[in-house]
Amino acid sequence: MLERLFQLREHGTSVRNEILAGITTFLTMSYIIFVNPEILSSTGMDKSAVFVATCLAAALGTLIMAFMANWPIGLAPGMGLNAFFAFTVVGAMGYSWQQALGAVFISGVIFVALTLTGIRSWLIAGIPHSLRSAIAAGIGLFLAIIALGGSGIVVANPATKVALGDLTSAPALFAILGFFIIAALDALKVRGAILIGILIVTVLSMLTGNSQFYGVFSVPPSLAPTFFQLDIMGALHTGFIHVILVLVLVEVFDATGTMIGVATRANLIQEGKPNRLGRALLADSSAIVAGSFLGTSSTTAYIESAAGVQAGGRTGLTALTIAVLFLLALFLAPLAGSVPAYATAPALLYVAGLMLREITQIDWSDITEATPAALAAMIMPFTYSIANGLAFGFISYVVLKAITGKFRHIHPATLLVAALFVIKYAFFPE
């Protein structure tokens, strides 16, 4: 049956290889079951329900990937997108989490339409490589300031805007320790380094009396507090135009780039040969819609899937294994509830550092490429908004290309996105 479903022999793999690859990928990306509830609960969402939604959305999205595309890629709520959901849309803009879920649903529907019509490929081809790299780096900086602030390492200061916090406080010390554990384990090629770091800090925090232990296993909590709680009509408020635009853009770049990168490494995309990229793109866009119903921010393909590919994963059986493990994780709700915010902060900070590697892909020798990219990356953390970073990047790119006589270098997709942001700031500034 497995051979018929996943064509294992055709891909030169075995059941054992695929299962081991699935376990490897799960260990590298399972930190999201602790981090996502911590981030989204800051909006007022029920933390236990978000934990269940995270596991279910990851399992459902990955199952769709397994059976629709037969690719070894895991999906789960995306880092960066969850921060944008919680700290920008709800925290800074003041919208309810129900409206934010409505925006995720609308962006998912648009994403499906863009995929089916081929516009998604047109957008990807038209966005400058420098801006795409800057977006990843900027989201990394955004995650970094969230992590540093949440652990008390960086604090607000009326004179200097930000300042160094009390490094002798328990949250700061635990966050610093967690960061070094994760970085060291990852450098030593230990699978699940981020997850291990979170768990070590959590256990030490309990042993020192800084956090409570609620247990390890239990029946999964109720999903009711977030299930079908999205407010689609509220999301159609004019202020949500650019929110939906940002969600779609980040989803397009993040998911597409990740999938192409992992699939290329697995030799699933070969020049001149048919591939299942279209199905994979449809799988991840469908998962976003499903996640909005469950009660979580946008689901996306995880770059950590490369670890499973490195371990030999080549088919959807790897993805099926990941999905089953996420379903089993539903029974770890008490453990997830025991994880303090400063235990997930080092995971955010470490992921932020990894995302900053994209800066090296920017063409710094061309001012009209480098300046918009730098603006996009810097504006995100300094205005606490991914949306503002995208706007500054796209608008400045078009302006600089135009006034330096390089208007022909501007792809219509880039011009369209820049125009939409100009309209947003001109007519809907709030």
DSSP, residue by residue, 369-410: HHHHHHHHHHHHHHTT-HHHHHHHHHHHHHHHHHHTT-GGGS
Contact 226, 295 (CB under 8 A): yes
Which residues of the chain register pLDDT less than 70? 238-239, 270-275, 428-430
Instruction: Please write the tens of the pLDDT for every residue from 59-79.
Output: 999 999 999 989 999 999 988
pLDDT at position 428: 65
Instruction: Please write the tens of the pLDDT for every residue from 258-311.
Output: 787 787 777 777 665 666 777 888 888 889 999 999 999 999 988 888 888 877
| Residues whose CB is less than 8 angstroms from the CB of residue 198 and which lie 6 or more positions away in sequence, other chains included | 31, 34, 35, 178, 339, 343, 344, 346, 347
Contact 381, 95 (CB under 8 A): no
Question: pTM of the entire structure?
Answer: 0.83
d(CA 145, CA 355): 14
pLDDT at position 64: 93
User: Measured in Å, how far apart are the chain's first and last C-alpha atoms?
Assistant: 55
Token output for 131: 């801006």
d(CA 397, CA 370): 9
pLDDT at position 174: 97
* Amino acid making up residue 424: K
Residues in the chain, overall count? 430
CA angle 196, 200, 206 (to 5 degrees): 145
| Owner of token pair 């995302």 | 355
Contact 229, 295 (CB under 8 A): yes
Q: CA dist 172 to 8, 31, 150, 225, 262, Å?
A: 48, 20, 9, 32, 35
Q: Which residues of 264-297 are buried (b: 16+ CB within 10 A; e: fewer)?
A: eebebbeeeeeebbebbbbbbbbbbbbbbbbbbb
pLDDT at position 271: 61
pLDDT at position 274: 60
Token output for 299: 């689901």
* Amino acid making up residue 14: S
CA angle 324, 335, 255 (to 5 degrees): 45
pLDDT at position 258: 77
pLDDT at position 363: 92
pLDDT at position 19: 92
Q: Which residues of 300-317 are buried (b: 16+ CB within 10 A; e: fewer)?
A: bbbbbbbbbbebbbbbbb
